Structure 1
């Protein structure tokens, strides 16, 4: 693990961290420097733009304080967005109504043990086959319990999303992409569709990625 000291919205600092060769990046809300929601989220958006300008293929996961800013991160090309404390209420209420739910969630998401949730590539020879067939395969091969799929489909390009009548933030994002010489017409939005327990007859596509509980 290598630590690079500096302001994470500064492109020179990001270059020293070698983001040009990075496959993915995680941005945490900068509450230490900027305790106010707006300032912290603005820095998250700026960092996302800087990352994309240096490496347009990088996959970004970012933390927000204000859920209303999620649309701006999406337009900046951030794939995964998590709002700070978003699931606290759900887990607290769930544990009160259904004892054990919190422990189950921790077991699934911890990444440790034999009952964690993981993402697996679908074997190519199962494309075109059914959810039941792949589920049976995982069980018989002791590879875990198949619970669903993530489908990635390209829907609309960023040029449409960042229209001329969009907000000031959108215009700023569009200008940053242009300065980085990134062709918006080629940058398409990927719509992620989660399909949990889709039914035994669901036909697997080549864009599907499996979610499995277990080894």
Structure 2
């Protein structure tokens, strides 16, 4: 590599690293020179380098002092050149730190971790889910992708925020989609149901294209779009409208009068989803019969898992098989 190539290589280095390298070279150069100029005052090269750093940074311990005229002239040059350079370097480091913190809060910094969960969309469902995950799995890393937020939503949440459109590859790369374990796609409350479902399906396609192995859970609002979400690559499709309708149905026909809306408001703070084995006497019964039986024990039947497939809110007349597992909503243990 000739001098010109070396010079071009030097200026291709990021500014912060270039300044640091320049400070090191300059201090080492002055340290070597002062050692040869005044070997009695600076017995070793390390002593000279130490003096150069102390003097150039304007700390000035005074343990090593040049006594000759040439040595003192070198000290003056070091203070003028090295002091300014060190000050500029420290100011640059401070500015970089502030800019990095600003970019992080604005969702511009790439996430470099692994085995994380990605939430797409910021809404009340995301807030509740985030609270539950961090309360029970505090060690789990979470990345939030949203294009409507101007900055990180809440400093109390231990999340990495990425601002952008989750249908774009660049945004997904910033979220390190290839190393993610799971992605949860929630519906956009600002859109009508059909537009929200189309957006969720398009997001599912983009994510599946970037990571064929990641688990994708997609929220769909309209029943006729469920099959399209599955075709797009969703491993699980949550039909939230159907779930809420089922909840209203069960509360309307409870024996004891209750306030349905009060129960709904309390639902996510006092209850949990879990899988339970099907009782023997319910084998061959309908989904409605099984649901009515569970209501008596204050459990809401949400769906079933059959041969590894999650079926949320199947038709009421669907027959429950012996190998099925029940997905219920019950009080916290």
TM-score (normalizing by structure 2): 0.35
User: In structure 2, what is the Cα distance between the partners aligned to 1:15 and 1:76?
Assistant: 19
Q: Is 1:38–1:66's contact at 8 Å kept on the other side of the alignment?
A: yes
Matches within 5 A, 1:46-65: 46-65=202-221
User: In structure 2, what is the Cα distance between the partners aligned to 1:193 and 1:43?
Assistant: 22
Q: Is 1:94–1:101's contact at 8 Å kept on the other side of the alignment?
A: no
- Output one character per residue of 1:127-176: Cα deviation in whole Å (capped at 9) or x when no partner: xxx978xxxxxxxxxxxxxx9996563xxxxxxxxxxxxxxxxxxxxxxx
Q: Which residue of 2 aligns with 1:126?
A: none
SS of aligned partner of 2:209: helix
Q: Which residue of 2 aligns with 1:182?
A: none
SS of aligned partner of 1:4: strand
SS of aligned partner of 1:3: strand
User: In structure 2, what is the Cα distance between the partners aligned to 1:4 and 1:89?
Assistant: 33
User: In structure 2, what is the Cα distance between the partners aligned to 1:40 and 1:193?
Assistant: 21
Q: Is 2:162–2:171's contact at 8 Å kept on the other side of the alignment?
A: yes
Report the structure, 1 or 2, having the larger helix content. Answer: 2
Q: Pick from 158, 168, 191: which aligns with 2:309?
A: 191
User: In structure 2, what is the Cα distance between the partners aligned to 1:41 and 1:193?
Assistant: 18
- Output one character per residue of 1:87-144: Cα deviation in whole Å (capped at 9) or x when no partner: 333333432331349577777x63x55x634358x9xxxxxxx978xxxxxxxxxxxx
1:29 aligns with 2:147: no
| Root-mean-square deviation over aligned CA pairs | 4.1
Q: Which residue of 1 aligns with 2:201?
A: 45
List runs of 5+ in structure 1 lacking aligned partners: 123-129, 133-146, 154-189
Q: Which residue of 1 aligns with 2:14?
A: none
Larger radius of gyration: 2
Q: Is 1:91–1:101's contact at 8 Å kept on the other side of the alignment?
A: no
Matches within 5 A, 1:50-89: 50-89=206-245
User: In structure 2, what is the Cα distance between the partners aligned to 1:210 and 1:96?
Assistant: 21
TM-score (normalizing by structure 1): 0.50
User: In structure 2, what is the Cα distance between the partners aligned to 1:209 and 1:57?
Assistant: 26
User: In structure 2, what is the Cα distance between the partners aligned to 1:45 and 1:78?
Assistant: 8
Q: Which residue of 1 aligns with 2:247?
A: 91
- 1:50, distance to aligned residue in structure 2 (A): 1.1
Report the structure, 1 or 2, having the larger strand content. Answer: 1
Q: Is 2:273–2:327's contact at 8 Å kept on the other side of the alignment?
A: no
CA distance 1:64–1:56, change in 2 (3 Å): same
CA distance 1:105–1:119, change in 2 (3 Å): farther
- 1:16, distance to aligned residue in structure 2 (A): 0.6
- Output one character per residue of 1:39-58: Cα deviation in whole Å (capped at 9) or x when no partner: 33222111101111111121
Query: Aligned pair count?
Result: 147
Q: Pick from 151, 154, 166: which aligns with 1:8?
A: 166
CA distance 1:66–1:89, change in 2 (3 Å): closer
User: In structure 1, what is the Cα distance between the partners aligned to 2:327 and 2:243?
Assistant: 23
By relative contact order (CA 8 Å, sep 6+), the higher-ranking structure is 1
